[in-house]
Structure 1
């Protein structure tokens, strides 16, 4: 997953490390994607908005000793602390955002334009993932997922295009029956210790699939 790798004490205390619990995400993120497409029909980058679930937001705020009055809002100084936190990328990570052309995964640049907000107790972060080189948007496939499925990114219809008639997107929901069959075939065959040490990469099976179509010049 992206930056919140340490397991919150609240989750550990709840006993979620039973083997069956590995099949379910522990963090839920309402995800919005704004596609930056040039007049030439090239994808330049993707603005990503994450709104974290209430429970995880509460855990993060408590761990960082923020929002002591529990009003769900942060002061300017507290937001500055969160801004630093959301820029703590972990090692070699794809940022849980994947853009593919045919079967090739395209490289994305480091996040820029990062913004953090807290409203009604939920943490919202925004950042831009530029492509390292612009590429024709037509036919590209975008998915947001944590390969280990520790975090679930829920996209649905929250995909925004620039105001141009030439491009459109289709969003296909995952086939959950097939996804959970994959879990049964891979995850449940492992012990809890094995799963914790080398968790199978099942996250993509649970991801929404966004396909871009452009008809520039037609």
Structure 2
């Protein structure tokens, strides 16, 4: 993410830490229409990203003041598939561009909110949703409380969450060059957060 994610200071992977909370959105007919994310960035990155952004109240930023940065974030995320990968019964599903996106400044951290509509809403027995950065530039972890919610899902649907082991320590032992030359272009897949929804 240009100013938002790719311009961090140069030190060992990962460079940015994100705590994610997500909602899977269902339509009235039981089809899945989209994914709504709220990503909280680490304090150091939040401070870095806010450099040069003016606010009327010192240390506080309104949604309007953060709007240009929010737009930059979601536009640059597109290149990376929004770090969100979905499969319905094993088949890859595609997303449209994000909607309803905005940044908020909360407890000293930036929180990016955005909704990813599926290209075509669909019904499925099993949905697998992975949230991760293949290059492990960004380390995603799911929020400790209520990391995933089903919104409007049929009552028969059940939710399972698979949290990865912490990959930051191992990644920091690797030479940064190993991430730059493609050797570890999918390193982050080992640390994907997997959300599975079964609807019999």
Fold shared by both chains (TM-score > 0.5): yes
Structure 1 residue ranges without an equivalent (≥5): none
**What is the rounded CA distance, in whole Å, between the counterparts of 1:115 and 1:214 in structure 2?**
31
Which among 178, 185, 196 is matched to residue 180 of structure 2? 196
Q: Is 1:114 equivalent to 2:104 in the alignment?
A: no
RMSD (Å) for aligned C-alpha atoms: 2.9
Distance 1:118 1:167, change over 3 A: same
Q: Distance in 2 between matches of 1:158 and 1:122?
A: 18
Whether 1:34 aligns to 2:34 is no
Residue 83 in structure 1 maps to residue 70 in structure 2? yes
1:128 matched residue in structure 2: 115
Structure 2 residue 164 is the aligned partner of structure 1 residue 174: yes
How far is the alpha carbon of 1:70 from its aligned partner?
4.9
Once the two structures are superposed, residues 117-156 of structure 1 have per-residue CA deviations (whole angstroms, 9 ceiling, x without a partner) of 1123211111111111112242110011111111112125
Structure 2: distance between partners of 1:37 and 1:2: 32
Change (3 A) 1:58 1:172: same
In the other structure, the counterpart of 1:65 is 53
TM-fit CA distance, 1:49: 0.9
TM-score scaled to structure 1, two decimals?
Answer: 0.76
Among residues 200, 205, 209, which one is paired with 2:190 in the alignment? 205
**Following the alignment from structure 1 to structure 2, what is the Cα–Cα distance between the partners of residues 88 and 175?**
30
Q: Which runs of 5+ in 2 are unaligned?
A: none
Q: Indicate the structure (1 or 2) with the bigger Cα radius of gyration.
A: 1
Range moving further from structure 2, 191-200 or 101-110: 191-200
Q: Distance in 1 between matches of 2:77 and 2:193?
A: 24
Query: What TM-score do the two structures reach when normalised by structure 2?
Result: 0.82
Asked whether the 8 Å contact 2:19–2:140 carries over to 1, the reply is: yes
Kept after mapping to 2: 8 A contact 1:42/1:134:
yes
Whether contact under 8 Å (2:131, 2:140) holds in the other structure is yes
| Separation in structure 1 between the aligned mates of residue 118 and residue 63 of structure 2, nearest angstrom | 32
More strand by share: 2
